[in-house]
Amino acid sequence: MVLLPTQPQCSNVSSNYMASNRLAVILLIFILTSCGFGAGTLGGFDTITFPTSKQTLAAAIDSLFAIYPEYKIPDKWKKEDDWKERGFDFLDSRIFYFKSEPEEMYYVSFYGDANDLHQADTTKTGISIRAINNVANYNWTKESDISSSEERRINKRFQNEIISKLEQFTNTKAISER
């Protein structure tokens, strides 16, 4: 007489496999949402879009620093430019320094093409403040961690002191987008 098993042995393996798949999916969703997937981990203030190529805008920023060196980060604050160590070396970015009160720095990056040598759309280029450093507190702060009145003050200062000059250098009119 031959005895056949009444329950297939693979059912336990199958249920364990399904449970581990469910756990993996839940874990993946948690990781993606907690890392700010889509919006990036830095977020950003208003995007300022110039109707020109990235190369033209980068040259305008270089001209701004040459003509107005007071906007360059001073040696005493160079240690605060630690973005490569933080893992953001893939962003093509600049730091703008403001000596007048409140003394602060803005970490600004190009939008869309990071450090790509070839820009996909050469008819417009966006930049955005990604973080600010109020040098009295020695720390970088994201937009999501400041008040709306402080955000308005920062955007206004950036517009009046930096964007207006870049518009002159590029002979364009930038558009601020949220």
Instruction: Give the model confidence (pLDDT) of 95-133 as tens digits.
Output: 999 999 999 999 998 885 544 555 555 788 999 999 899
Give the burial string for 58-87 (b: 16+ CB within 10 Å, else e): eebbeebeeeeeebebeeeeeebeebeeee
Convert the pLDDT of each residue in 19-41 to its tens digit. Answer: 555 544 443 333 333 333 233 45
Average predicted confidence (pLDDT) for the chain: 76
Within this chain, do residues 83 and 127 fall inside the same structural domain, yes or no? yes
pLDDT at 53 over 60: yes
Are the C-beta atoms of 50 and 172 separated by less than 8 Å?
yes
Residue 3 within any structural domain of the chain: no
pLDDT band at 139 (very low <50, low <70, confident <90, very high): confident
Q: What is the mean pLDDT of residues 61-82?
A: 89
Query: pTM for this one?
Result: 0.70
Within this chain, do residues 110 and 29 fall inside the same structural domain, yes or no? no
Residue 162 within any structural domain of the chain: yes
Identify the three-state secondary structure at position 25.
helix
Name the residue with tokens 């160079």.
Answer: 78
Residue 92 within any structural domain of the chain: yes
Within this chain, do residues 52 and 31 fall inside the same structural domain, yes or no? no
Residue 23 within any structural domain of the chain: yes
Within this chain, do residues 56 and 23 fall inside the same structural domain, yes or no? no
Within this chain, do residues 31 and 107 fall inside the same structural domain, yes or no? no
Within this chain, do residues 104 and 59 fall inside the same structural domain, yes or no? yes
Conformational region of residue 72, where left means phi above 0, alpha means psi within -120 to 50, and beta covers everything else: beta
What is the count of structural domains for the chain?
A: 2
CA distance 164 to 28: 44
Range of the domain at 32: 9-38
Residue 4 within any structural domain of the chain: no
Residue scoring higher pLDDT (44 or 55)? 55
Residue 71 has what pLDDT? Answer: 97
Residue 2 within any structural domain of the chain: no
Within this chain, do residues 112 and 77 fall inside the same structural domain, yes or no? yes
Residue 137 within any structural domain of the chain: yes
Within this chain, do residues 106 and 157 fall inside the same structural domain, yes or no? yes
Are the C-beta atoms of 138 and 145 separated by less than 8 Å?
no
Residue 111 has what pLDDT? Answer: 80
Q: What is the mean pLDDT of residues 70-83?
A: 82
Are the C-beta atoms of 48 and 175 separated by less than 8 Å?
yes
Q: What is the mean pLDDT of residues 71-95?
A: 76
Within this chain, do residues 31 and 87 fall inside the same structural domain, yes or no? no
CA distances from 108 to 2, 14, 24, 43, 127 (A): 77, 51, 36, 11, 7
Within this chain, do residues 133 and 77 fall inside the same structural domain, yes or no? yes
Within this chain, do residues 15 and 88 fall inside the same structural domain, yes or no? no
